Structure 1
Amino acid sequence: MAAEETGGGAVSHSQKLDSQGTSSNRGETENSLQDFVWKVDDMKRLRRFLVLGSETPTYYIDARKLAIENAKALSNLLEAGRGVEVVNEIERYSIEGRTPRQQTILFSLAVCARKGDLATKRQAYNALPRICRIPTHLFMFIEFCKLLSKPGKGWGRAHRNAIKRWYKEKDPWKLAMDITKYQKHERWSHSDVARLMHLNSEGTDVSDELFVIMKYVVCGWQELNAYFFPQDETTSHRSIGENGNAVLEFFRAVEEVKTLQEEVRVVELINQHNLVREHIPTCFLNSKEVWDALLSKMPMMAMIRNLNKMTSIGLLAEGSPQVKDVCNKLCNENQLRNARIHPFNMLLALKTYESGKGEKGSLKWKANVEITKALEKAFYLSFKNVEPTGKSYMLAMDVSCSMQASGCIGASTMKPHVASAAMAMMTARTEEHHEFVAFSHEIVPMEISSNMNLNEVLKICNEIRKGDKDFAQPMLYALYNNLKIDVFIVYTDSESYFGEVHPREALAKYRHHSGIHDAKLIVVAMTSNGVTLADPDDPGMLDIVGFDSAAPQVMREFILGNI
């Protein structure tokens, strides 16, 4: 039934509007609305690539293989002499945390370092320490550089010097922790890097702490220990002072724990030297005493990530002091704010913990009721961590039975109907202007308020009659009802249907009639890995294929116009 007959509800799937609101054929519509689609320039495509891993407006949850052929905009910018500008943009996106995956950042930096002109290469290597903040990033950058280099071409002086600076300019204590915590990645180790960059630990400009660290990296523990504690006690060695000796003792603890058999001594070293889980041999990772020692100084995100393991080994037993400690941390608003945990990530942690089994591997546990309640409370508290965008939203939600059939790609413990309800809650609680509608036999408005909990939102969705998914309908509904919307978001399990009006055509019509020429459309298909709907040349359209913990961040960047 047309909206004119119902007073402004659904728009039939076959009905199309021209610029005056009357019927029109598709060719006329496309021609008349071309003014409302702007071409995407190379810098915009680069930003897409940095955030999405693709120049097309589609975020795939599964990581796609990166290749220079998939970064044409990057190549175009380098050829146009804009390499320094590109490096600055890469650095900005990295430091501001705008990218959910580091691979695209490091790949793009490697392209600039290996394929750019002299000024671009210098800028890329200067930015290296600020972008590669942990050894894992450094190893990934080195591997990309290797893949991008010509066969047989070794490490040049600029490349070697940049890697040396990465080690030498870091805070010594952070470096000591990092090189022992992240020892190997992408087939690279610190000793491999030291050998290829001709690293020398000596030098008058090297501090006592850095001298010990470099000696450890270049020579390994046995030679380092023999240097400072030779069998011939008359052999001279460099004096390293109190700070250098403290670093030396830290390395001693890291090496000692690798061969220990006594649990008590492992706990002692954790407490004395702040060792972390990555330092502990696998054979001790089923020990309650060891995990208890690790838990005492564990950061919030690490604690949440390890709740499943600590529960499985019996550390988080009902009524235990450890459970009380965990619950107090989870319900501490200041700690949650400092950890900047997104509500969806907290909900994902809750659903995974409730499930009693990991998404991968064989780990199983019986969820602790107190911790489950604390995670739920933390989910609601974490909404305060989300900054509003100030935009006006319409969320169109698929309420079909298939939304409850299987888990989201990228978050298998969460069903699509729960994920979409959680995102609706986030919008209701953080944004001042919002509309919620459901796909049924027609577009049905939903009353979702900021004081509702998750179960109440799910109840509203479950009570709506099921119907077809026509992704053009939200824009046409907003058009007929004269709603001012900046962002349309469709949550569905699969982008399996649209009517005779293509969503991009409906979006163009809405822009034309509303005057909101930069109105955006996001289609989130949580279980689909098929075709997408977004127009590559329209900067106002985005497809999300699957739904993981990074998806909300990608959506925010898109809504704010950063990609």
Structure 2
Amino acid sequence: MSYLMRFARRPARNSAGGTAYAVDDWTRLRRFLILGSEGGSFYAGELTLTRENATAVWRCVEADGARALREIVAVSKEGRAAKNDPAIFALALAASATEDVTRQAALAALPDVCRTGTHLFAFARYVEGFRGWGRSLRRGIATWYLDQTPDQLAHQAVKYRRRDGMTHRDLLRLSHPVAQTPEHAQLFEWIVRGGETDGLPRIVEGFTAAQRAKDARQTAKLIRAYDLPREAVLPEFLDSQEVWAALLERMPMTALIRNLATLTRVGVIVPGSDGAKHAIAQIGDGERLRKARVHPIAVLAALRTYASGHGVRGKHTWAPVARVVDALDGAFYTAFGNVEPAGKRMLLALDVSGSMTWGDIAGVPGLTPRDASAAMALVTAATEPEHEIVGFTDGLTPLAISPRQRLDDAIRAVSNLPFGATDCAQPMLYALEHEREIDTFVVYTDSETWAGSVHPVQALRTYRERTGIAARLVVVGMVANAFSIADPEDPGMLDIVGFDTATPAVVTGFAAGAL
């Protein structure tokens, strides 16, 4: 989805008729950066939701460009979002700001947000829709290329060749970088005009040889000799077991997780094989996961697809290897990093209403806000020993899901629940009725909730008064819309964004009183 094509703190009515609080522009900016707006929501289409978010991002950029850029760079650089496109889109808006100082700062931040050629192509497409190719934009793009070492630039040129009709050749011709070294000059010449590879980084020599390869065996040899990525391989050899075995040997973590299905389908990963052992060891390496900044959504998407044995869009099928599925399940929790338990009594309430089945989280096909909320809840449940998980069905229903289950099984259990109206006061009323002693209520919702007889804010205050417990409420927003049920004036209530990698730590930190 191209974002370019989709371009109050008082209680208000949300789209379902419930009473909610309109979140401020900075919250909307953060929600957009983390969750995106692909697929829209039950109440707002993709076009409408993206336009609303783009308008909020623009207001942030115009109000305080430096603060907006800090937020954009932090989310992108720290790997807190599953996809970088929202951050790139927001950076392109900032590079088109009214204030010259904001535009300059946005272009200076280009290497921090656009770390690959694909990112740079997306930025160029977005920014073209907001402004012309002036001197500062040309200089910013040129600097991106000049700051790369020859080896880094050669890797970019081979691996990230095209996106949305944009190529490195196009950007070099638009930006006119003045090469500071003979190596850069020769590399720019090859990217723009092709020709001889003598004196260029070895990956260029390997790439040109792979493009002339006659068979899979020769291709596999070139992959090993030149450490070539999959993108250097001719399409006719991408069904070869020999080629994929060679690629697997030094495959980066993100590529490995993304290509598990193909590796299994072509026979590299089968029970007991060296390929399976290698993949399982890599996926289980927590330090490697963290260094690669693999986002939990990427792991969850791979887990759901791989365990299903068939693609979401394509016709390919494969026989999932159970140990690989288990490794992905463990990697999902590891991808959130180390979360210190708060040691508090928690009630985790999942919105499983019809509106939560609409749209895709971060553009992952089939990953609905309802499924994602179950996954998020299990991360907290795996951290906090004293917890209970309930769902909004017909009233409030205890859910028989546990972090001891495999993640995909737990999500399936939640996905098969009947829909029900979401009255977010119910967790507090439920705790009072059943005499539950709860320190922190955590509600996962799109905040498109039904208006019950008691507002959630009042229900929490009543619970505090009757029990004497200074209970807290955390609202985890699963859609990038404008609503929250958390009262921003109550220090015991917190609104945060779902599937930010920092979310579980923020939940436990707030529950422990550290925030």
TM norm structure 2:
0.75
In structure 2, how many angstroms separate the alpha carbons of the residues matched to 1:459 and 1:266?
41
Partner of 2:475: 521
Partner of 2:429: 476
**Kept in 2: contact 1:341–1:382 (CA 8 A):** no
1:255 aligns to 2:208 (yes or no): yes
In structure 2, how many angstroms separate the alpha carbons of the residues matched to 1:277 and 1:117?
42
Secondary structure, in 3 states, of the residue corresponding to 2:109?
helix
Partner of 2:267: 314
Which one of the candidate residues 193, 213, 224 is aligned to 2:171? Answer: 193
**Kept in 2: contact 1:263–1:290 (CA 8 A):** yes
Partner of 1:276: 229
**Kept in 2: contact 1:507–1:521 (CA 8 A):** no
Once the two structures are superposed, the pairs formed by residues 110-509 of structure 1 within 5 Å of their partners are: 110-149=92-131, 153=132, 155-201=133-179, 205-206=180-181, 208-218=182-192, 220-222=193-195, 224-225=196-197, 245=199, 247=201, 249-336=202-289, 338-339=291-292, 341=294, 345-346=298-299, 348-367=301-320, 371-380=321-330, 382-386=332-336, 387-388=338-339, 393-397=346-350, 422-431=375-384, 434-439=387-392, 443=396, 470-478=423-431, 481=435, 483-490=437-444, 499-503=452-456, 506=459
Q: CA deviation at 1:362?
A: 1.5
**Kept in 2: contact 1:336–1:382 (CA 8 A):** no
Secondary structure, in 3 states, of the residue corresponding to 1:436?
strand
Closer, same or farther in 2 for the Cα pair 1:137/1:390, shift >3 Å?
Answer: same
Partner of 1:50: 33
**Kept in 2: contact 1:489–1:521 (CA 8 A):** yes
Closer, same or farther in 2 for the Cα pair 1:98/1:382, shift >3 Å?
Answer: closer
Partner of 1:18: none
After superposition, the C-alpha distances for 1:484-526 in whole angstroms (9 at most, x for unaligned) are 444422479x97866444556645766888786973323769x
TM norm structure 1:
0.69
Secondary structure, in 3 states, of the residue corresponding to 1:315?
coil
Matched residue type, 2:443: I
Please tell me the root mean square deviation across aligned C-alpha atoms, in Å: 4.8
In structure 2, how many angstroms separate the alpha carbons of the residues matched to 1:46 and 1:176?
35
Closer, same or farther in 2 for the Cα pair 1:65/1:267, shift >3 Å?
Answer: farther
Q: CA deviation at 1:286?
A: 0.8
Secondary structure, in 3 states, of the residue corresponding to 1:520?
strand
In structure 2, how many angstroms separate the alpha carbons of the residues matched to 1:40 and 1:407?
20
- Provide the aligned length of Structure 1 versus Structure 2: 482
**Kept in 2: contact 1:51–1:99 (CA 8 A):** yes
**Kept in 1: contact 2:150–2:184 (CA 8 A):** yes
Q: CA deviation at 1:322?
A: 2.2
**Kept in 1: contact 2:329–2:407 (CA 8 A):** no
**Kept in 1: contact 2:80–2:295 (CA 8 A):** no
Closer, same or farther in 2 for the Cα pair 1:333/1:166, shift >3 Å?
Answer: closer
Q: CA deviation at 1:279?
A: 1.1
In structure 2, how many angstroms separate the alpha carbons of the residues matched to 1:320 and 1:555?
37
Q: CA deviation at 1:327?
A: 3.2
Q: CA deviation at 1:465?
A: 12
After superposition, the C-alpha distances for 1:72-109 in whole angstroms (9 at most, x for unaligned) are 444444544x3233323322332222333323222222
After superposition, the C-alpha distances for 1:56-76 in whole angstroms (9 at most, x for unaligned) are x98999965787764344444
Partner of 2:5: none
Closer, same or farther in 2 for the Cα pair 1:385/1:60, shift >3 Å?
Answer: farther
After superposition, the C-alpha distances for 1:253-300 in whole angstroms (9 at most, x for unaligned) are 212212322323211211111101111111010111111110111123
In structure 1, how many angstroms separate the alpha carbons of the residues matched to 2:409 and 2:62?
55
In structure 2, how many angstroms separate the alpha carbons of the residues matched to 1:473 and 1:186?
47
In structure 1, how many angstroms separate the alpha carbons of the residues matched to 2:34 and 2:43?
11
In structure 2, how many angstroms separate the alpha carbons of the residues matched to 1:252 and 1:61?
50
In structure 2, how many angstroms separate the alpha carbons of the residues matched to 1:157 and 1:361?
44
After superposition, the C-alpha distances for 1:13-56 in whole angstroms (9 at most, x for unaligned) are xxxxxxxxxxxxxxx9x9xxxxx9987554444334433447xx
Q: CA deviation at 1:380?
A: 3.3
Matched residue type, 2:194: W
Matched residue type, 2:476: I
In structure 2, how many angstroms separate the alpha carbons of the residues matched to 1:477 and 1:42?
33
In structure 2, how many angstroms separate the alpha carbons of the residues matched to 1:447 and 1:359?
28
In structure 2, how many angstroms separate the alpha carbons of the residues matched to 1:211 and 1:465?
63
Matched residue type, 2:330: Y
Closer, same or farther in 2 for the Cα pair 1:281/1:466, shift >3 Å?
Answer: closer
Unaligned stretches of 5+ in structure 1?
1-27, 31-35, 229-244, 545-549
Matched residue type, 1:180: V
Q: CA deviation at 1:301?
A: 2.7
In structure 1, how many angstroms separate the alpha carbons of the residues matched to 2:60 and 2:367?
40
Q: CA deviation at 1:441?
A: 6.6
In structure 1, how many angstroms separate the alpha carbons of the residues matched to 2:472 and 2:137?
43
Closer, same or farther in 2 for the Cα pair 1:497/1:337, shift >3 Å?
Answer: same
Secondary structure, in 3 states, of the residue corresponding to 2:443?
strand
**Kept in 2: contact 1:470–1:499 (CA 8 A):** yes
Matched residue type, 1:195: R
In structure 2, how many angstroms separate the alpha carbons of the residues matched to 1:428 and 1:193?
48
Largest Rg, 1 or 2: 1
Aligned residues with identical type, % of pairs: 32
In structure 1, how many angstroms separate the alpha carbons of the residues matched to 2:187 and 2:137?
21
**Kept in 2: contact 1:533–1:543 (CA 8 A):** no
Matched residue type, 2:339: P
In structure 2, how many angstroms separate the alpha carbons of the residues matched to 1:265 and 1:456?
43
**Kept in 2: contact 1:58–1:543 (CA 8 A):** no
In structure 1, how many angstroms separate the alpha carbons of the residues matched to 2:61 and 2:393?
49
